Structure 1
């Protein structure tokens, strides 16, 4: 079992990240705004406060990656 294939695939995925991320700008902005709004005043981010926004971002990433793979 060779570990080089794992690193090669990982590097390729990381190279594609900016392109995929660019397709999800509005979702990323919405998630960032939610995180920022819920952590004002030094508050800690609590689980599931921005779950809806995170799920939208995750779905966008997944869909963009699938489109890229085709």
Structure 2
């Protein structure tokens, strides 16, 4: 197995990330707002599943965008 092929595929996926992520701006903003609001007002700890609904929406959007492909 050639290491260059693994790195080439990884680099290709990482190059697409900003374009895919941009397609999910609304979901990313909602998730960020949830995380931000749960770590303000003296609570500096983000616990598991506090923003699960927003995270799942972002994940679903990102997977959908990746499946469509970006040209």
State the TM bucket, normalised to the shorter chain. over 0.9
Aligned residues: 69
Which range moves more in the overlay, 28-37 or 42-51? 42-51
Distance 2:43 2:13 in 1: 34
Unaligned runs of 5+ in 2: none
What's the RMSD between the two structures over aligned residues? 1.1
Distance 1:66 1:34 in 2: 26
TM-score by length of 2: 0.92
Alignment of 1:30-69 (within 5 A): 30-40=30-40, 41-68=42-69
Q: Tell me which protein shows more helix as a share of its residues.
A: 1
TM-score by length of 1: 0.93
Superposed displacement of residue 43, structure 1: 1.9
